[in-house]
Amino acid sequence: MTHMFEGVGVALATPFTNNEIDFDALERHVKFLLENNTQAIIVNGTTAESPTLTDQEKEQVLETVIKLVDKRVPIIAGTGTNNTQKSIEASKRAKEIGADAVMLITPYYNKTNQRGLIKHFETIANEVKLPVVLYNVPSRTNMTIEAETVETLSHNPYIVALKDATNDFDYMEEVKKRINEDEFALYSGNDDNVVEFLSLIHI
């Protein structure tokens, strides 16, 4: 299996004017990204402040972006929450709208263990049957997906990538040792160290 994309995937912000989503600004932003060779677009992720958007707003944004992109690059929808069933429902809805993949953040607040993480992610992936990008950002969730857990999850046919925002290169070295990089992609979630990250994963 080849990776969903190689190169730059951009996490969209959600533009607002007077407490309403500014769809004109969103359209301009998406067109700019497409004109400048963005290889994937992530919708309703952390950068979009998705926890503060209503379900209706998230669907409207996703529908708008999918229509604008028109299959030119993959659309990855942020659908993860700390509620497994809610994440399944959001992911299925994203699939219905036309997302190419979903991104699942590590469950926050309801701290679980690594076995719980595996159950959470695999339950969603197996229900939705769409490519899944795991999102490891412990600075926001107060929990990390351990390297051994990433290895276990990488064997699920639907779980195809890890977006890493740990800023921990020893961790990434360990993850890299444990996965098949031809089948499981590693993406940087930190703009400030992307060059160092790329030098690590391409060794």
Tokens of 129: 């049957």
Active-site residue identified among 58, 163, 171, 187: 163
DSSP type of residue 186: E
Active site residue: 58, 135, 158, 171, which one?
A: 135
Is there a contact between 45 and 51 (Cβ–Cβ < 8 Å)?
A: no
Strands (E), the chain: 9-11, 16-17, 20-21, 40-43, 75-78, 101-105, 132-136, 159-164, 185-188
Nearest CA to 99 out of 136, 128, 124 is that of 128
Q: Does residue 95 carry a catalytic annotation?
A: no
Active site residue 135: yes
Positions marked catalytic: 135, 163
